[in-house]
Structure formats: structure tokens, C-alpha cells
Structure 1
Amino acid sequence: MLLFIPSLFLFLLQQAALPPKDLHKQNYTIYETATGNLLSLDSLVERLNSADIIVFGEEHNDSLGHVLQYQLYKRLLESHESVTLSMEMFERDVQRAVNEYLAGLITESKLLHAGKAWNNYSAYAPMVNLAKDRNQQVVAANVPGRYANMVSRKGLGSLNQLDRKARHLYAKVKIPEKDDAYLAKFNAAMGEHAHSMGPTVFHAQLLRDATMAESILKAHRKNRNTKILHLTGRFHSDERLGTVSELKKRKRKLNLVTISCFANPKEDDQDWSTNEALADFIILTN
């Protein structure tokens, strides 16, 4: 066990805790697909005020996208007493560690270890720390990676072999029909490997989506007055498939809004009609 932390690591932790820089010198475009209007970030926040759940689909390596997430979360907290942050980046079995960090009981370095934090956790740390400062909940929404891996190798039936005490760590999955749009999208993304992988890899994807959707709805039922901002890779939410589809299956009357955020260095050449079906709002960063 190490008795000290190298100064470089301490510096990186301190930098991760700092809020992202202002956006006024950054380049991004926000587009509302229903109206065709270009929006400011403040206008986007106004349109999100009535939403129960906001699903923010990101590209994990988009640094400007992470800054926009933080600014969006911060602005929502300025006008709402409770905004729960739900995250694909934490798995259900680390919820206790997340709660302990939010309560000030453990350090950020311990959260990184116990929470199995992603390699790019510094991109999300400002949002988690803002939640901590404002006494907000953070939901570790995803299924434990070991179970997703197990399903991809052994199939959904392998979940039945787990101890009953593990049941709260994953959601039930309903296998879709062969003409399912999400299955077609998944196979297209896998390319020539789709056939050789077999269906269990897609079933692991469904397990992630179903578990995240169930986690979001549990948080909503626990506090009907909270607004939920869910952060996820945009494959899980684009075209209102994946986690978004699972949310709609489970509770149709929710006011659910989707955002798709991705880098587009050739914004001037953007054909918006090709992206209309992605989400309610599209954010292009460059």
C-alpha cells in the first residue's frame, strides 16, 4: 500500500476538480430539430425546464462536449432545487462509494479506485463535484461490467446463475424481434464482425440500456420533484433507441428530452436533414 501520492497525481486531481473554462471563446452550435432553429445555451436550458428527464448523448472523447455538459448542469441547478445527475460512467455496484464521496466521507482518490472510474474521469469530475457542493444526488446507473461481459459470453440465461442478492444490480431484458431498428443499427456498427459475434453481444448492450433506464426511473420515483440529467454515450440514445427506448417502454408519460452532442469540424457543410432523427436537440462542437 502506498503511503504517499506523487505530486503529479495530486496536481491532476486538483485540475479535475476545477470547473471547466468559460465557453465564450469556444465553437459550438445548438440546433432544435422540431423547429429548425439555432439556439444559445441559455435558450436550450429554457426549453429543458419542463423536462422530467434529459438524456445527453455524448462522444466520450469530446472535450468541448464535456464543458457544455457542465455548463448545462450548472444552469439547470440555478433554476431548479433538485437536479439528479445520472451517469453511464458509474456502475450500480459502486453506488455506495459515490454516495460516500458526495457526503464527504471518502476522498476523490478513493472514489477513483472504489468507483472504478473511467480513464477520462477528469472530464466528469467537475459535474460530480458540483453535485457534491450543491447536495445533489448522483446515480451510478450502469450495469456492472462483469455482468455485461458475462452475458456477451454466455447469454442472458447466465444471469439466473447469480446469487439472488445480486438481482438489484441489473434489469430484466426483453429480446426484440429480428427487424428491430436498434439491432440493425448495432449490427451496422459492428460491420463484418456482427455475424461472427452472435446475438449475445447485442444482448449485453440491451442489458446496459435496460439497467440504465431502470436506474433513471428508480431515481425519478424516489423523488418526483427532481429533474434528471443522464449522461451516456450517444449510441445508447441517438434516434431515441437504446436507453431512451427502454425508458419509453417502462413509463410513456414522462416528459423525456434527448440531446445528441458530437464533434463536427465541417459545420458549414452540415446537412441538418441527415441528423433530424437523432434527438430533440443536436449540439455540434468543433
Structure 2
Amino acid sequence: MKLLRTLTLLLTGLLFTLSASAQKTAEPIAYRLVDSVGRPVTFDKLITRAAGADVVFFGELHNNPISHWMQLRVLEALQQRKGKNLTLGLEMLEADIQLILDEYLAKTISPKSYGDEARLWPNYETDYDPGVYFAKDHGLRVIATNVPRRYADLVNRKGLPALDSLSAEAKRYLPPLPIVFQSTEESAGMFAAMGALVHGDKKKEKRYLEEAQAIKDATMGYRISQHLRPQHTFLHLNGSYHSLQNGGIIPYLRRYAPKAHIVTITTVLQEDVEALEEAYRGMADFILIVPEDMTRTH
């Protein structure tokens, strides 16, 4: 009887342990890093590939903290591999503030003066300043690659031909004119869908919107091409749309620097980060999968 009671207690304890084990809370996962077809890859492999490239495009989600954290980690790791043979470029900085940026990097002007004059994005301090500060601290070049927003606005209102009316000084911040307009399959599909819903002047507005996107991509491609050097790697931070599926900036860069070796990284959101969803296959050479409920920086 005593033996039976002991066995009953042991069995009850075992069942309780198994039940508690079955209810164990899943470990939170902040990201997964995979290749273009969804195979897991190490950070070291990504950096090895990136260090051998002329240009690395890191496509971010602007308000995603994991994107920004990983960008900084990539920058730091590339600096360890490449030393000063590394350049950082940002979509978030416009070409006409390059002098201001250079003066800030050289510590000629104060951070306050830089912030007052550089038309920084609202999330610059948390999301981009760490990378720029790292570059500054390690003597790396930083290039403001985007078109001045006033010229993107001009194209959005009047189309690409309006750029011809600009002064020679203004055209210093643009790629060679005329821009050869080229649209990726994805952007063409998006704008075609928009076009099906609009008519008359609205169709013209849609076309101008697409051309405004093109002047941004062309300017970034041209600015990158003008700062490539042998044995150097140019790490470019941009919204994922600007380099997705080798589109956006990349066709323009290939026009200006056809021999450039390019590696792409992009960021996607998924409910389950364990396996890459079919829709995201082929989006980039490396894909950063982030939980869709990840907090946002703004």
C-alpha cells in the first residue's frame, strides 16, 4: 500500500513536470538572416560577401529598429575587414548638404550647426547618427546620395523635362541629363495599378510621381558611381524599395558603373521568422527577417 502511494506520487509529479514542460514559453526571436532562397546564413558569411563587393545596398524599413541595428553591425564589421577602404552612403542625406556633412565629419562645425543646416530626418538621431558618428570616429567617408528634395518636388509637379530649366550650379547635384527613365517590373506594376484608377490630369500626376522616384534613384546611383574606388566597399543605406529585386537605384548604377560588383540586403516582416515566405524569395542576396510585431522607432 505504501509502495502504491509512493508510485502514485511519483507519477503525479512526473505528469506535472511534463505538463509544465509542454507549456514552456517560446523563446522570443528578434530576427533571422537567410540567403535569397531562404537558407540560414551566418553573419560572418554575409560580411565576407559584402567585403568583396564594390557596393552593398542595405534596404531598410525606415521605422524598424532591427534594420538600423543590423546596419550598424554591418558597418562595424566591414570597417574591421576593410579599414578605411570603406565608404558610407545614405539616402537620408541630400547631395547639396555634402559640404555641411564634410565639415561635420572634419569637426569643423558643431553637431548643432550640422543638425540645424542638414535637413535631417526626424528619426536621424536614433537611427542614422550612430552610423555617421562611427564613420566620423574612424575617419571614413560619408556621402549624401539623394537628390535635393526641391528638385524631386519639381519633377513631381512638372515631370523630368523640367530639370532642363535648372542652372548649371543646380545641375551639379543631379546625374547627367536627360535621365533615361527605366522602371522595374515591381514599380511598373504598382504604377500601372494606380493608373487603372485615374484618368486625365491624374494620369499625368501618376507619371510625374513615377519620374520623381526615378530622379531619386538615378541621383543615388550616379552619386555612388562617382565615389567608387578600387579595393573599396561602398555601403549604401536606403529604403528597401530602392534596391529590391535589383531594381530602383541598381539599374542606374549599372549604367554609370557597369562593372561594379553589387551585393544586396533587404528587410522583410513576417509573423513567423523561422522560414522565409515564398513571396520574399529572390528579393535580395541576403534577407533580414524581422517579426511583424517588432516595435517601431517612429
* Shorter-chain TM-score range: 0.7 to 0.9
SS in 2 for 1:169: coil
Distance 1:163 1:55 in 2: 31
With the length of structure 1 as denominator, give the TM-score of the two structures: 0.83
Matched to 1:110, the amino acid is S
1:89-132 deviation digits (Å, cap 9, x = unpaired) = 00000000100110011122221221100000020111000000
Q: 2:138 — aligned with what?
A: 134
1:63-94 deviation digits (Å, cap 9, x = unpaired) = 11100000010000001022100100000000
Distance 1:282 1:194 in 2: 35
1:161-185 deviation digits (Å, cap 9, x = unpaired) = 11111111112311248xx525424
Q: In the alignment, is the contact (CA less than 8 A) between 2:195 and 2:206 conserved in 1? A: no
Distance 1:164 1:182 in 2: 34
SS in 2 for 1:117: coil
Q: 1:217 — aligned with what?
A: 225
Q: 2:47 aligns with which of 28, 45, 48?
A: 45
Q: 2:206 — aligned with what?
A: 198
Q: 1:284 — aligned with what?
A: 289
Q: 2:75 — aligned with what?
A: 73
Matched to 1:68, the amino acid is M
Residues 183 and 39 (structure 1), Cα distance of their counterparts in 2 relative to 1, 3 Å cut: closer
> Equivalent pairs: percent with the same residue?
32
Q: 2:294 — aligned with what?
A: none
Q: 2:272 — aligned with what?
A: 266
Residues 51 and 148 (structure 1), Cα distance of their counterparts in 2 relative to 1, 3 Å cut: same
Deviation at 1:40, TM superposition (A): 2.3
**Structure having the higher Rg:** 2
Determine if the alignment matches structure 1 residue 165 to structure 2 residue 203.
Answer: no
SS in 1 for 2:89: strand
Further displaced range: 237-246 or 134-143? 237-246
Matched to 1:70, the amino acid is L
Determine if the alignment matches structure 1 residue 241 to structure 2 residue 247.
Answer: yes
Further displaced range: 180-189 or 49-58? 180-189
Distance 2:195 2:237 in 1: 26
Q: 1:58 — aligned with what?
A: 60
Q: 1:120 — aligned with what?
A: 123
Q: Which runs of 5+ in 2 are unaligned?
A: 1-27, 292-298
Distance 2:165 2:70 in 1: 42
Q: Which runs of 5+ in 1 are unaligned?
A: 1-24
Q: Across the two proteins, how many residue pairs are aligned to each other? A: 256
Distance 2:227 2:180 in 1: 22
Distance 1:135 1:185 in 2: 42
RMSD: 2.0
Q: 1:156 aligns with which of 157, 160, 163?
A: 160
SS in 2 for 1:198: helix
Matched to 1:87, the amino acid is L
1:125-160 deviation digits (Å, cap 9, x = unpaired) = 110000000000000000000000001101112111
Distance 2:35 2:69 in 1: 20
Residues 241 and 63 (structure 1), Cα distance of their counterparts in 2 relative to 1, 3 Å cut: same
Matched to 2:46, the amino acid is L
Residues 31 and 129 (structure 1), Cα distance of their counterparts in 2 relative to 1, 3 Å cut: same
Residues 97 and 275 (structure 1), Cα distance of their counterparts in 2 relative to 1, 3 Å cut: same
Residues 226 and 204 (structure 1), Cα distance of their counterparts in 2 relative to 1, 3 Å cut: same
Distance 1:176 1:97 in 2: 32
Q: In the alignment, is the contact (CA less than 8 A) between 1:148 and 1:204 conserved in 2? A: yes
Q: 1:30 — aligned with what?
A: 33
Further displaced range: 188-197 or 259-268? 188-197
1:44-70 deviation digits (Å, cap 9, x = unpaired) = 112222111000111100011100000
Further displaced range: 195-204 or 144-153? 195-204
SS in 1 for 2:234: strand
